[in-house]
Amino acid sequence: MIKRFAPAAILLALVVSAAPVFAQDPPSSVTPGTKQFRKSVVASGLAGPWEMTWGPDNMLWVTERTGKRITRVNPANGQKTVAITIPEVSAPGGQDGLLGMALHPDLLRNSGDRNSGNDYVYIGYTYVDEAKGAHADVPDPRSPYRFLYTKIVRLTYDKSTGTLTKPLDLITGMPAGNDHQSGRVKIGPDRKLYYTIGDQGNNQLGNFCRAVESQRLPTQQEIAAKNYAAYVGKSLRLNLDGSIPSDNPKLNGVISHVYTYGHRNMQGIDFGPDGTLYASEHGPKTDDEVNILTAGSNYGWPNVAGKRDNNAYEYARWAEASTPCSQLSFSDLAIHPSVPREPESAFTKPFVEPIATMFTVPTGYNFHDPACKGVDFICWPTVGTSGVEYYRAKTGKGIPGWDKVLLVTTLKRGSLYVLPLSKDGKSAAGHFSRYFHSDNRFRDTAISPDGMTIYIATDPGGMAEAMAGGTTRSMQDPGAILAFTYEGEGGPATTPVTSKAAPAVPAGQTPVTASTTGALPQFTAAQSAAGKTAYNANCAVCHGNTMMNGTFGPPLAGEYFKTTWSGKTVGEFHEKAKTMPPAAPASLSGETYANVVAYILETNGYKPGNAALSAASDALNKLTIR
Catalytic residues: 180
- CA dist 401 and 410 (Å) reads 22
Residue 327: how many other CB atoms lie within 10 Å: 10
User: What is the SS3 string spanning 380-443?
Assistant: CCCCCEEEEEEECCECCECCCCCCCEEEEEECCCCCEEEEEECCCCCCECCCCEEECCCCCCEE
Q: Calculate the alpha carbon distances from 488 to 34, 265, 484, 491, 511 in Å.
A: 9, 35, 12, 10, 47
Cis, peptide link before residue 359, omega less than 30° from 0: yes
Residue 7: how many other CB atoms lie within 10 Å: 7
DSSP3 helix / strand / coil % (the chain, rounded to 5): 15, 30, 55
Question: What is the three-class DSSP state of 326?
Answer: helix
Q: Provide the Cα torsion 458, 84, 151, 127; round to 10°.
A: 80
User: What are the φ/ψ torsions at residue 399 (nearest 5 degrees)?
Assistant: -85, 120
Length of the chain: 626
- CA dist 335 and 69 (Å) reads 42
Cis, peptide link before residue 460, omega less than 30° from 0: no
Q: Calculate the alpha carbon distances from 294 to 23, 113, 358, 403 in Å.
A: 18, 40, 21, 23
Spatial contact of 43 and 80, defined as CB atoms under 8 Å apart: yes
- CA dist 487 and 273 (Å) reads 26
Residue type, 232: V
Residue 84: beta bridge partners? 70
- CA dist 408 and 421 (Å) reads 13
Radius of gyration of the chain from its Cα atoms, rounded to whole angstroms: 24
Q: Which residues of 491-516 are buried (b: 16+ CB within 10 A; e: fewer)?
A: eebebeeeeeeeeeeeeeeeeeeeee
Q: Where are the alpha helices (DSSP H) in 430-478?
A: none
Cis, peptide link before residue 302, omega less than 30° from 0: yes
How far does CA 220 lie from the centroid of its chain? 31
- CA dist 199 and 124 (Å) reads 16
Helices (H) and strands (E) in the chain, counts: 9, 34
- CA dist 265 and 288 (Å) reads 10
- CA dist 235 and 182 (Å) reads 10
- CA dist 40 and 485 (Å) reads 8
- CA dist 302 and 312 (Å) reads 14
Residue 456: beta bridge partners? 445, 482
Question: What is the three-class DSSP state of 601?
Answer: helix
Residue 489: how many other CB atoms lie within 10 Å: 12
